[in-house]
Structure 1
Amino acid sequence: MYKIEIRDFEKKYLIEEMIKIFLRPDEYRLTDEDADIIFNVGSSQDKNLIKREVYNKLSALVKELPPWGILTGIRPVKLWGETFESLKNRDLARKYMRETYLIQEEKLDLIENIYDYQIKACGYAREDRVSVYIGIPFCPTRCLYCSFVSNQKSDSEIERYFIALLKEIRAVGSMLKASGKSVESLYIGGGTPTSLNAKQLDTLLSTVHKSFPMEECLEITVEGGRPDTINYDKLSALKDNKVDRISINPQTMKNETLDIIGRSHSVEMIINAFELAHTIGFKSINGDLIAGLPLETTEDFKSSIERLHALGPDNITVHCLAVKRASRLVDVDKDYHYKQSRVVDSMLKTGRELLSSEGYKPYYLYRQKHMAGAFENTGYCLDDKIGIYNIRIMDEHMDIVSLGAGGISKAYYPEENRLERIPNVSNYEEYINRVDEMIERKRKGMFDRR
C-alpha cells in the first residue's frame, strides 16, 4: 500500500479524485507522516498545477497515461467550446487544453469534432428557449449497476405520483408561458417512463402540450428504455402526442448478460420493440449499449453493436459501465471498474470504428465518476438525427426546467455564465407530499429572479 501525503493544499478531495484514476482505494492511504509519495506545490492553490503533479508522478509509477489527462469533470465538450470561443483560435485552444489538462490528441480531436458538429446541427443556445425534463422514477426491476432513484411500485403508487406530477406540470407550465420563453426540447426520462400505461402516457403528454409553450419545440423524446414495457398502445399514444424521438435500450444483445445484470427482457423482445417502433414511424430511434458489462469480451460488444445496428437505430449511445456506490454491483466487486479498464478501451475503439464505417458520427459526450477505465459515454447519430436535449444538458448555456422526483432544474445567468441548481426531492413519496414546495422553489429560483 502506498502512503501518500498532500501538503499545503486545501481541497484534498480534488486530489483524491485524481489518485483514484490510477490506484484502487485499497492500494493507498493519505497520511501526514512517513509518506512514500509527497505532492507539494508550495503556497500555490492552483488545482490544475497540483493535479498535473499527481498525474505525472502516478502515471510514471503505474506505467499508464489516462487519455483525458487531469480532467475529472463530466463535460469536456463544454470546456473545449468555452476555451475555443475565448481564444478564437483552434491551435491556441488545443495548446491550452493539452498543456493545462494533459489531454491526449485523440480526445482533443474527439471533443473538437463533436463541438463543431453540434454548432452545425443545432447552433448556439438561445436565451428565449428552455429545455424541459420530466422524470418517471419507476422501473420493472433494478439493474445490477444502477443507483438511480427508481422504484418498483404498485399501480396505485404510480398513480399517486402521476397526479402530483401533473400538478407540477400545469403550475410550472403556466409560469413558463408568463415568462415569454418557449420550449426547445422536451425529454421524458427515468427510471422507465413506459412503466406508465398507455392512458397515463396520453394524459401526461396532452397535459404538457396544453400547459407548456410548445409551439416552437424542435424535439420530444421519450425514453422507452426497457423493451418489456413497450407495446403498440403505448407507442401509439406517444406518436399521437407528437413524440418524434424514442429510446429503446438493450444495453447488450447477449441473453446471458441480460440475466446477469437483472434486465427482465430478452434479445427477442428488443428486436420486437424496434420492429414495432419502426412500424409506428418515429423520426428517430436511439439504442443504448454499455461497454464493460460483467463477463463480456470485446467480441461480445462488437456483436452487440452489429446486431443493434441491424435493427436500424438512428442513434446509438455507447456508455461505459459506471459502478455507483449505491449499486448492487459495488457490493459484489467494489474494484470492478478498475479491472475493466483495458477491455473497455478495446470495446470503445472497436465500437468507434464499426459505427464510423456505418456512417454514424459522434454528436455528444459526457463522462462520469467511477466509470470503467475513466473513459467517456458517446452518442452517435446518422444523418444529423441528433438528440437536441442531450446537447443542451451537457452544454449548460440554457435554462433547464426539470419536473418530477429527483429532477434538478438549472437557472442560467448568461451575463455571468453560471448556473443555479433548483432541486426537487429525490424520494417519490416525499415529492408527492411536497409537490407544492417544489413548485414554489421553481417560482422563486427560476421565474422570479429577474
Structure 2
Amino acid sequence: MYKIVLQNIENKYDFNELTKIFISEGDYELYTDTEFAQSEAMACDEKDTFNVITAGGFSKNQVKQELYKKLSQITGKTPKWGIHTGVRPIKLVCELFDKYNGNEELVRDELSRIYLFSDEKLNLAVNIARLQRQILKPAPQNSVGLYIGIPFCPTRCLYCSFTSNELRTEKVEEYLSALFLEIEHTKLKMNELSLYPESIYIGGGTPTTLSAEQLDRLLTKIEESYDLSKLAEFTVEAGRADTITREKLEILKNHNIKRISINPQSMKDETLALIGRNHTGKQVEDAFELAHSVGGFSINADVIAGLPQEKLTDFENTLTKLISLNADNITVHTLAVKKGSKLVDIDSAYHIKRENVANDMVKLGYSVLKHMGYEPYYLYRQKYMAGALENTGYAKSGKESVYNIRIMDEHQTIVALGAGGISKAYFPAENRLMRVPNVSNYEIYISRIQDMLDRKTENLFTGGLLC
C-alpha cells in the first residue's frame, strides 16, 4: 500500500486521477498534508509513504509534474499523455494554437515541457488539431448539435455501462411517446431563439432495435419538428449487425440519412460471444454488403483494442476485414473498465493488466489505417482505459463527422434528448458551458418527462445562449 502525501494542496481530485493511471485504486491512499497529520497513517512506519513537496507559488501543473516523476520512478511506467488526465486533449491543443496565434513550435514546446506528452501522442494530437482547424470552421451562429438517444440494446455487452437497457418491447412505445414530447418542446424553444441543428446524431443504445415502423415514425417526427434546411450531417447508429435489415436501411435512405455506424467491436466470433454480442463476424459482413447495396451511406465502424483474450493478430484481422468492407470511418476505442459494467465486477484492474497489448493494438491501428489512407480526425479519452490511452476516429478524406468534432471541441450548444442525454449550453460571450442532464433510467425518464422539459426551459434555452 502506497501512502502519498501532497504538500500545500487542498483539492486532491486531479492528483488522484493522475495517480490512478499508475497504481490500482485499492493499492494507494492519497492525503493532503493536513489529512495525513490527522490520520492514523502518520503513526505507521510505512516504507512506501512518500511526499510530493512543493514550495509556495508552485502551479498545479508543476505539482502534477512532480507527482508524475515520483510515480514513474516507483512503477516504471511513463504514461504517454503525461500529466494530462482530461477527456479532451485536442481541445487543449486547439486552445494552445489560439494562445500562440497558430505558432506550432510554441504549442509543441508547451505540450512537451509542461504537460509531458510523449512524442507519439504530441504528434497525434497536434496533427488532429491542425486537421480540424483546416476542415471545419467555427460553428455557425444559432446552430446546435442535436442528439437523440434510444436506450435499448438486444443484449448488454461485457464492458458496457451506458444507460442502455436490454430490449423490452412493451416499453418502447411508452419511451417514444415521452421522447416525442421532448422533441415537440425543443422544437418550440429552438424556434423562439431561431436555433437550428447543424448536425443530428441518433445514438444509444442501439437505435435500430426500434421496429421499421417506429424508426420511420421517429425520423418523420424529427423532419416535421426542426429546420433542416442548413443541416450538414445526419447520423444514425445502426450499431449491432443483428438489428440491421434492408427495410430499416431503406427507411434511413428515404429520410436522407447519409451517415450510419455498423459497430462490430471485433470480427472474431469467439470474442463476440465472450463479450455478449449475439451476432457473428459474418453477420457484420452481411450488414455492410446490405448497406452498400441500398447505397448512399457513409459508414463508420467501431472496434475495441484490448478486448478479453484477443491477440494482436486478432485486432489486425478485424481492421483488415473492415477496410476490405469499405468502411469510410473506423473508430479505434481502447477498452475501458467502466463502473457499472459486468467487466468491473469480474476484474476491476483488468485495464491495467491489458495495457501493454492495448498499446500495441492502438499503435498497429494507427500504422495500418494511415497506410490505407485513413487520417485520425478526432480523439477523446475516458477513465479506466487500458494504458490510459485514447479513442481515435479515423476517416477517409471528406468523410469526417461534424458532430464528433463539435462535441469534443465544446464551442457549440448540444441539445440532447432522451434518457441519459446530457445537453450542454454554450455561452460564447463567457466561453462557458452549462450541463443540463436528463435522468439516465428510461423508466424514470418516462415518468418525469415534464421535469426534463422544465430543466431545458430553465437552464438550456436562455437568452444568453447564442451558439
Could you say which TM-score interval applies, normalised by the shorter chain? over 0.9
Tell me the distance in 1 between the aligned counterparts of 2:58 and 2:191: 45
Q: CA deviation at 1:186?
A: 0.3
1:66-105 matches, within 5 Å, as 66-88=79-101, 89-105=103-119
Contact 2:207 2:237 survives alignment (8 Å): yes
Contact 2:150 2:203 survives alignment (8 Å): yes
Tell me the distance in 1 between the aligned counterparts of 2:427 and 2:306: 38
Task: Give the equivalent residue in structure 1 for 2:52.
Answer: 39
**Residue deviations 1:21-77, cap 9 Å, x none?**
111123323362255211122445732121111101111222221110001001011
Show structure 1 runs of 5+ residues with no match: none
Tell me the distance in 1 between the aligned counterparts of 2:439 and 2:2: 40
What amino acid maps onto 1:78 in structure 2?
Answer: K
Task: Give the equivalent residue in structure 2 for 1:448.
Answer: 462
Q: CA deviation at 1:3?
A: 2.3
Q: Which of 385, 396, 402 is residue 416 of structure 2 equivalent to?
A: 402
Q: Is the counterpart of residue 216 in structure 1 residue 230 in structure 2?
A: yes
Q: CA deviation at 1:356?
A: 0.8
Q: Percent of counterpart pairs with the same letter?
A: 50
Tell me the distance in 2 between the aligned counterparts of 1:277 and 1:45: 56
Tell me the distance in 2 between the aligned counterparts of 1:45 and 1:447: 40
Q: Which of 421, 431, 434 is residue 448 of structure 2 equivalent to?
A: 434
Tell me the distance in 1 between the aligned counterparts of 2:127 and 2:373: 15
Tell me the distance in 2 between the aligned counterparts of 1:297 and 1:245: 31
Tell me the distance in 1 between the aligned counterparts of 2:331 and 2:154: 22
Tell me the distance in 2 between the aligned counterparts of 1:283 and 1:388: 15
Q: Is the counterpart of residue 9 in structure 1 residue 9 in structure 2?
A: yes
Show structure 2 runs of 5+ residues with no match: 37-41
**Residue deviations 1:111-167, cap 9 Å, x none?**
111112112222222232110000000111000000011111321201100111011
1:280-295 matches, within 5 Å, as 280-295=294-309
Tell me the distance in 2 between the aligned counterparts of 1:449 and 1:438: 19
Tell me the distance in 2 between the aligned counterparts of 1:93 and 1:351: 26
Tell me the distance in 2 between the aligned counterparts of 1:51 and 1:298: 33
DSSP 3-state at the match of 1:101: coil
Contact 1:246 1:282 survives alignment (8 Å): no
1:196-215 matches, within 5 Å, as 196-215=210-229
Q: Which of 36, 45, 66 is residue 53 of structure 1 equivalent to?
A: 66
Q: CA deviation at 1:428?
A: 0.6
Tell me the distance in 2 between the aligned counterparts of 1:379 and 1:163: 34
Q: Which of 200, 211, 231 is residue 186 of structure 1 equivalent to?
A: 200
Task: Give the equivalent residue in structure 1 for 2:134.
Answer: 120
What amino acid maps onto 1:405 in structure 2?
Answer: A
DSSP 3-state at the match of 1:131: strand
DSSP 3-state at the match of 2:155: coil
Q: CA deviation at 1:303?
A: 0.8
DSSP 3-state at the match of 2:166: coil
Task: Give the equivalent residue in structure 2 for 1:249.
Answer: 263
Cα gap change, 1:30 to 1:108, in 2 (>3 Å):
closer
Q: Is the counterpart of residue 353 in structure 1 residue 367 in structure 2?
A: yes
**Residue deviations 1:417-439, cap 9 Å, x none?**
11001111111111111112211
Task: Give the equivalent residue in structure 2 for 1:111.
Answer: 125
Tell me the distance in 2 between the aligned counterparts of 1:233 and 1:361: 32
Task: Give the equivalent residue in structure 1 for 2:435.
Answer: 421
DSSP 3-state at the match of 2:373: coil
What amino acid maps onto 1:25 in structure 2?
Answer: E
The number of aligned residues is 450
Task: Give the equivalent residue in structure 1 for 2:39.
Answer: none
Task: Give the equivalent residue in structure 2 for 1:139.
Answer: 153
Task: Give the equivalent residue in structure 2 for 1:377.
Answer: 391
Q: Is the counterpart of residue 65 in structure 1 residue 89 in structure 2?
A: no
DSSP 3-state at the match of 1:29: strand
Query: Normalized against structure 2, the TM-score is what?
Result: 0.94
Tell me the distance in 2 between the aligned counterparts of 1:390 and 1:448: 25
Contact 1:9 1:45 survives alignment (8 Å): no
Tell me the distance in 2 between the aligned counterparts of 1:390 and 1:317: 11
Relative to structure 2, which stretch is displaced further, 436-445 or 426-435? Answer: 436-445
Q: CA deviation at 1:324?
A: 0.5
Contact 2:145 2:200 survives alignment (8 Å): yes
Contact 2:155 2:167 survives alignment (8 Å): no
Task: Give the equivalent residue in structure 2 for 1:25.
Answer: 25
Cα gap change, 1:45 to 1:212, in 2 (>3 Å):
farther
Contact 1:10 1:45 survives alignment (8 Å): no
Q: CA deviation at 1:105?
A: 2.0
Task: Give the equivalent residue in structure 2 for 1:173.
Answer: 187
